[in-house]
Structures are given as structure tokens and as C-alpha cells.
């Protein structure tokens, strides 16, 4: 059934009122003789039934229109719920896109690892909603394993009062008769553990959380920053979470109500109020007085049953109602995360490739200048070495440049270095290092060679930024990028190490000169890289 738009609802109602008036008023007036043109005997019987029909029709139309307007207003505020099929289609497109990035990864081991995750996504997409993954996530000692034990109705994990009890994701099959899918519960290592090992377990927990269709985020108090940040991060990824306030038996009723209210306020717009559930997964035993045979009394601790029924109902309701949507959303999120991981791996590989290119050409430049000194601007703005370096850096990022484009970039760089006065500044810095540590090589040719090699490195790092940004200098412009790279490489420790490498990689090979003292005395105890 289609309803009239609001703009047309008022004219329709007005017409109904006029028809109703004509159907009721005219027969009545005729009956009492106020309309002499119509005699009572001439009024057909249908005239007395028509008013009732019109009244009913008018009321029905009014109610339908008003109901439609009310629904429209509610819809305007809430927005449409995405359809599972449309999200599943988006997940399929995202998986294909992620696969394209995975294929571009060069490292065989890493490409295989990412490829396995892609296969898992594809397999889960083909199986649709045969399995739903519910992941228990939270800080150490919040009671995650106790919660799984309570949900399963038996002990399936250790619950010691020691941080790091849960070492890896432990999965259990959870039976929910009202959900037409296999539900798997996965425990995770706790967050906020100290040390490198703790950080590794937290990374594992976050990785498991990303693969969840539904998260149970377990806390035992109001949220602290270390809990709030990952919860918000996972929500932004599109993860549905039920916040489980555990250990409710340890709080007086007023305090428990206050904590729940604070959670609702802090998580407004992120977590539905109905998705904040208080439980007692492993209640404290209650002291009970027991009479002995001799008439005396002993106090014993009587164990209490877990109080988790509200959580059971909420999990079942969410999975039954939104299971398909949650599963499709999870696959979409996993595809996005896989693409990001593949892109990060590609960036690391390109960084290593670019660094190797820059190092190769900085030593070639130093050797060339030492063997055949030429003006600095000629080296930076148009030498074959500089042009080759730009072309090779472009290829690292899959970009083929024409020779006019390469010459234009080299010219920009040379002019910018000249305007900033970096040739004089770099020469002064390098000369100072040679005079302090490499007196035997402090001749002008050696200093110029080292300076040109150093400025080639600065230019190379700047070009690397340019290509990494998709052939754009960004908001800094070429001047800002060059200055930043110069500042990052002009520290005394870096210059000392760079000059040492120039000596050992270039100068000693081209012009062997005895170095006073041992190698360690020359290099400051550092072996050349």
C-alpha cells in the first residue's frame, strides 16, 4: 500500500470532510422539511447508510496519513538500517580490492600470511552465516574467562588471580537454540599488561577482536582511558559490542545503578543502552552459619550460581535479529583491515627499496665528484647520476617519468637548495667533521665529495616524500620538504657517521691515504655499514 505525501494529505482530508457534510447534513435537512425541494419519500435508503460509510472512511484515511507522517518523522531521525545484502556486496568488493593489494606485496612470507587471511574472508563470505564469532575482550582480571565458564555452564578456562593467564585465543562452541548458526566464543588475552610480552598479547587480543561478529567487552567498573580508547576504536571500525559490567555482586545497588548510568552517558551514540548489561559471572560465596551436632555454629562459605541470564538473552536477541548484518559487516571490516595491513607492508618495502636507491646514488655522487670536481649546482640540478636517481625512485612507486619531467624535478631541487643556502651550510658542517676526525682527508676535494654525497641524500629523501605522496609535495611545498629532510640529517652524530662512511666507502678506495691510528679511532668505535 502506498501513502499520500504530507503535502497532499490536507486537501484529501478537506475533501473527505465536505463529502461527509453533504452526506449527513443534506438528508437530515430534507427529512425535517427545511429543504422543500426534497421530500422525505424521495430520499433513497442508501442516503441514511452513506454517512456511516463516509465517517468510517474519513477516520481510516486520517489515521493512515497520520501514521505515515509519524513513521516518516521517526525515520528522519534514525536513518535507514543498512540491508545485509547490500553490506555483503560491499564486503565482496572490498575483498577483491584487498586482494589486489596483497598481490603487490613482494615479501613471499608476508604475502602468504596475508593471502591466508584473504582466503578465510572469502570462505566465510561463501558460507554466509553458518558460523558467528563472539569474542570476549577486555582488561586483565575483569573476569573474561569466568564469563565464558558461566556462559558455557562448565569450566573451560583457568581463572587465576594472575595477569596473563589467557595466553592465546581459546574458542568454545556456544549453543543458542534460537540462533540458526554455530556460535563460537573466543577468549582473548587481557589488555594493559606491562612489558613487551604484555604488549604482544594485547596485539593478539585486538587482532582477534577485529575478526569478531560480536564483541563482549568486559569491565568490572566504570571505563578508564585504557578501556575507552580501544572500545571506541573498534566501534569506529564497525564492530558491534555488548558492554558487560561484571562483578555486580560486589557493588551496593545504588553504586551499581550509578556506574551503569555513567556507562550509558559516556557511551551514548556508540553503544545502545540495552547493550550495557550487568552480570556476576563468578559471584563471591556467601557466609552461612551452620549448626554442628553439638549445638554450636560454624560459618561456611556457600557458593553462588552465576547471574548472567540477562546477558544470555541479549546475546541471543542480537544474533537472532542482526546476525546476518553483523556477519556481513564483519567481513567488510576484515577486508578493510587486510587492505590496510597489505598497504603498510607495501609502504615498508618501498621505504627499504627507496633507501637502497638513495644510498647507492649518494656514494656514486661522492665518488664521481671526488674523481672529477664539478660545480655543486651542476651535480644537483642536472647530472646523469641525479636524473637516474629520480627515475629509479619513481619506479619504486610504480611511476614512469619522461625525461623532461625528470629534468624539471632535478631543476626544482637544485634551485631550492641554492636559494636555501644549503650548499654553503652543508660544506661548513662536513668540513668541521673532517677537521675533527679525518684530518688526513680534510682536503677540499674530499670535503666537496662528502658534501655532494650528503646533499644527494637530502634530495633523495625529499624525492622519496614526493613520490610517496603520489607525485605531490604536500602542504609544505618543495621548500618545506627539503628543509625538513636537511634538519633530520644535520645532527652531529649522523654527520659523523656519514663522513666515516664516505672515508671508508669512497675516499680510501679512490685515493688510499694512511689514517693515523686504528680504524676504531677514526670511526669513533663504529664499523662502517
Structural domains of the chain sorted by starting position, each given as residue range(s) with its CATH number in brackets = 12-65 (no CATH), 85-158+170-340 (3.40.50.300), 372-510 (no CATH)
Q: What is the pLDDT of residues 390-414, one digit of tens each?
A: 999 999 999 999 999 999 999 999 8
Residue 242: is its pLDDT beyond 80?
A: yes
**pLDDT at res. 84:** 80
CA distance 275 to 278: 10
Q: What is the pLDDT of residues 34-75, one digit of tens each?
A: 555 555 455 555 555 455 555 555 555 554 444 444 434 333
Q: What is the pLDDT of residues 413-439, one digit of tens each?
A: 988 998 999 989 988 888 888 877 765
CA distance 221 to 263: 9
The pLDDT confidence band at residue 102, using thresholds 50, 70 and 90, is: very high
Lowest mean pLDDT among 68-72, 190-194, 217-221, 475-479: 68-72
CA-based torsion, 462, 467, 469, 470: positive or negative = positive
The pLDDT confidence band at residue 266, using thresholds 50, 70 and 90, is: very high
Say what the alpha-carbon torsion angle 79, 82, 86, 92 is, to the nearest 10 degrees.
120
Q: How many CB atoms lie within 10 A of CB 442?
A: 16
CA distance 439 to 435: 5
- Cα maximum dimension of the chain: 138
CA distance 406 to 412: 10
CA distance 144 to 208: 14
The arithmetic mean of pLDDT across residues 340-361, rounded, is 95
**pLDDT at res. 452:** 87
CA distance 446 to 427: 11
**pLDDT at res. 20:** 53
The pLDDT confidence band at residue 331, using thresholds 50, 70 and 90, is: very high
**pLDDT at res. 7:** 42
Which strands make up the sheet holding 276-278, listed edge to edge? 170-174, 182-187, 131-138, 214-219, 241-245, 276-278
Burial class of 201 by CB neighbour count within 10 A (0 to 12, 13 to 18, 19+): buried
pLDDT: which is higher, 147 or 81:
147
Residue 359: is its pLDDT beyond 70?
A: yes
Q: Kindly report the three-state secondary structure assignment for every residue of 268-295.
A: CCCCCHHHEEECECCCCCEEEEEECCCC
CA distance 179 to 315: 10
User: What is the C-alpha radius of gyration for the chain, rounded to an integer number of angstroms?
Assistant: 38
**pLDDT at res. 520:** 36
Residue 278: is its pLDDT beyond 90?
A: yes
Lowest mean pLDDT among 62-76, 95-109, 327-341: 62-76
Residue 162: is its pLDDT beyond 70?
A: no
**pLDDT at res. 378:** 55
Residue 525: is its pLDDT beyond 60?
A: no
Share of the chain above pLDDT 90, in %: 38
CA distance 448 to 429: 11
Q: What is the pLDDT of residues 499-523, one digit of tens each?
A: 888 878 776 665 544 444 434 333 3
Q: What angle do CA 377, 382, 386 make, to 5 degrees?
A: 100
pLDDT: which is higher, 175 or 128:
175
Decide if 400 contacts 394 (C-beta within 8 A).
Answer: yes
Question: DSSP class of residue 140?
Answer: T
Residue 129: is its pLDDT beyond 90?
A: no
**pLDDT at res. 466:** 96
- Determine the angle formed by the axes of helices 444-468 and 403-419, rounding to 10 degrees: 120
Nearest to 410 by CA among 476, 474, 460, 374: 460
Lowest mean pLDDT among 23-32, 58-67, 95-104: 58-67
Residue 479: is its pLDDT beyond 90?
A: yes
Give the three cell numbers for residue 450: 662528502
Lowest mean pLDDT among 471-480, 482-491, 519-528: 519-528
Adjacent-strand bridge partners of 218: 138, 244
Q: What angle do CA 254, 259, 261 make, to 5 degrees?
A: 95
Q: What is the DSSP string of 421-455?
A: THHHHHHHHHHHHHHHH-GGG-SHHHHHHHHHHHH
CA distance 265 to 163: 30
**pLDDT at res. 74:** 36
**pLDDT at res. 369:** 81
Adjacent-strand bridge partners of 171: 186
- Best-predicted range by mean pLDDT (44-48, 82-86, 441-445, 508-512): 82-86
Distances (CA, A) of 104 to 98, 114, 345, 368, 390: 10, 11, 9, 35, 22
Decide if 461 contacts 489 (C-beta within 8 A).
Answer: yes
Average pLDDT over the chain reads 78
Which 3 state secondary structure label does DSSP give 216?
A: strand
The pLDDT confidence band at residue 91, using thresholds 50, 70 and 90, is: very high
**pLDDT at res. 245:** 94
Helix (DSSP H) and strand (DSSP E) numbers for the chain: 18, 8
Amino acid at each position: 500500500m502506498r501513502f499520500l505525501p504530507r503535502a497532499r494529505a490536507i486537501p484529501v482530508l478537506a475533501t473527505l470532510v465536505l463529502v461527509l457534510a453533504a452526506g449527513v447534513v443534506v438528508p437530515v435537512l430534507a427529512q425535517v422539511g427545511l429543504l422543500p425541494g426534497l421530500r422525505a419519500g424521495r430520499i433513497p435508503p442508501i442516503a441514511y447508510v452513506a454517512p456511516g460509510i463516509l465517517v468510517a472512511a474519513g477516520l481510516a484515511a486520517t489515521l493512515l496519513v497520520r501514521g505515515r507522517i509519524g513513521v516518516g518523522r521517526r525515520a528522519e531521525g534514525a536513518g535507514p538500517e543498512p540491508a545485509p545484502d547490500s553490506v555483503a556486496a560491499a564486503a565482496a568488493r572490498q575483498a577483491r580490492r584487498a586482494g589486489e593489494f596483497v598481490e603487490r606485496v613482494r615479501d613471499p612470507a608476508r604475502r602468504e600470511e596475508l593471502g591466508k587471511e584473504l582466503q578465510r574472508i572469502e570462505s566465510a563470505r561463501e558460507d554466509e552465516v553458518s558460523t558467528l564469532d563472539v569474542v570476549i575482550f577486555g582488561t586483565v582480571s575483569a573476569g573474561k574467562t569466568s564469563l565464558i565458564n558461566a556462559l558455557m555452564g562448565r569450566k573451560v578456562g583457568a581463572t587465576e588471580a594472575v595477569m596473563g593467564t589467557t595466553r592465546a585465543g581459546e574458542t568454545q562452541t556456544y549453543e543458542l537454540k534460537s540462533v540458526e548458526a554455530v556460535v563460537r566464543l573466543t577468549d582473548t588475552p587481557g589488555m594493559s599488561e606491562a612489558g613487551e610480552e604484555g604488549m604482544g598479547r594485547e596485539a593478539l587480543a585486538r587482532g582477534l577482536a577485529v575478526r569478531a561478529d560480536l564483541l563482549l567487552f568486559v569491565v568490572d567498573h566504570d571505563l578508564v582511558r585504557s578501556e575507552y580508547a580501544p572500545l571506541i576504536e573498534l566501534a569506529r571500525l564497525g564492530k558491534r559490542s555488548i558492554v558487560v559490567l561484571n562483578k555486580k555482586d560486589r557493588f551496593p545497588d545504588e553504586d551499581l545503578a550509578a556506574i551503569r548510568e555513567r556507562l550509558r552517558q559516556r557511551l551514548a551514540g556508540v553503544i545502545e543502552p540495552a547493550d550495557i548489561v550487568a552480570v556476576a559471572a563468578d559471584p563471591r560465596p556467601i557466609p552461612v552459619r551452620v549448626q554442628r551436632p553439638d549445638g554450636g555454629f560454624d560459618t561456611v562459605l556457600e557458593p553462588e550460581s552465576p547471574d548472567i541470564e540477562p546477558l544470555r538473552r541479549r546475546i541471543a536477541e542480537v544474533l537472532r535479529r542482526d546476525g546476518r548484518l553483523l556477519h556481513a559487516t564483519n567481513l567488510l571490516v576484515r577486508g578493510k583491515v587486510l587492505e590496510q595491513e597489505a598497504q603498510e607492508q607495501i609502504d615498508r618495502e618501498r621505504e627499504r627499496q627507496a633507501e637502497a636507491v638513495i644510498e647507492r646514488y649518494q656514494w656514486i655522487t661522492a665518488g664521481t665528484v671526488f674523481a672529477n670536481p664539478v660545480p655543486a649546482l651542476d651535480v644537483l640540478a642536472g647530472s646523469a647520476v641525479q636524473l637516474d636517481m629520480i627515475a629509479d625512485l619513481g619506479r619504486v612507486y610504480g611511476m614512469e617519468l619522461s625525461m623532461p619531467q625528470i629534468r624539471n624535478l632535478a631543476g626544482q631541487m637544485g634551485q631550492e637548495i641554492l636559494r636555501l643556502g644549503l650548499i654553503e651550510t652543508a660544506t661548513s658542517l662536513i668540513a668541521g667533521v673532517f677537521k675533527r676526525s679525518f684530518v688526513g682527508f680534510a682536503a677540499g676535494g674530499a670535503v666537496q665529495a662528502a658534501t655532494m654525497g650528503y646533499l644527494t641524500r637530502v634530495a633523495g629523501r625529499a624525492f622519496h616524500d614526493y613520490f610517496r605522496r603520489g607525485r605531490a609535495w604536500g602542504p609544505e611545498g618543495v621548500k618545506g620538504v627539503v628543509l625538513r629532510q636537511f634538519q633530520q640529517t644535520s645532527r652531529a652524530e649522523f654527520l659523523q657517521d656519514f663522513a666515516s662512511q664516505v672515508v671508508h666507502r669512497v675516499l680510501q678506495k679512490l685515493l688510499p691515504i694512511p689514517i693515523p691510528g686504528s680504524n676504531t679511532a677514526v670511526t669513533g668505535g663504529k664499523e662502517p655499514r
